[in-house]
Amino acid sequence: MRWGLIPFFTKQLSDVKGISTINAKAETLRTSPTWREPFKKRRCLVPASAFYEWKKLDAKTKQPYAFTVSDASLFAFAGLWDAWKDGEGHWLQSFSIVTTEANELMSSLHSRMPVILHRREYDRWLSREVSDQPPIDLLRPFESEDMEMNPANPLVGSVRNNGPEMLNSA
């Protein structure tokens, strides 16, 4: 599974080079050709224990922050997936995380945030029943009071660094 949705209608992978499809804006899911079909019938959950955002301290320095959900070690982002077949018949499955406007806690660092679903909403988000009313109401900011924001290890900015020690500032 690849992060960065490749729409089913893509002719060649080179057609999506330079286009960022790792995040899907909630406001465009019903109108954008890239997101419209996945939103109707290919919704998924993207499990996470935290996510990061960086605050610019000065021209050269950024401080990462880890965001978690207060009452859970794991939670899920609203996601969309698609499957694309190349000219040789090989399938590539890919996904994107749905984003929305930032809640009060997140807005101090960024104007957007991932859509975090409540556990009670998982089944509804995943439902494949054809409906004139997809679950657009679930695409809202998660409650600030149910989240925590903590300084994270500056080494988190490199993909070579991974592990629970990234959640804590060094």
The rounded distance, in Å, linking the Cα atoms of 149 and 169 is 12
Please give the structure tokens belonging to residue 122: 């998982």
- Residue-level pLDDT at 12: 75
The rounded distance, in Å, linking the Cα atoms of 75 and 66 is 14
User: Is 166 exposed, middle or buried (CB count within 10 Å of its CB: 0-12, 13-18, 19+)?
Assistant: buried
- Binning the chain into helix, strand and coil, the percentages to the nearest 5 are 25, 35, 40
Domain count, the chain: 1
Please give the structure tokens belonging to residue 45: 């959950």
- Residue-level pLDDT at 18: 60
Position 148, amino acid: E
- Residue-level pLDDT at 13: 72
User: Is 88 exposed, middle or buried (CB count within 10 Å of its CB: 0-12, 13-18, 19+)?
Assistant: exposed
Work out the pLDDT band at 15, boundaries 50, 70, 90.
low
The rounded distance, in Å, linking the Cα atoms of 43 and 78 is 7
Q: What is the CATH number of the domain that holds 84?
A: 3.90.1680.10
| Host domain of residue 9 | 2-167
Three-state secondary-structure class, residue 44: strand
Res 128 pLDDT > 80: yes
Q: pTM of the entire structure?
A: 0.91
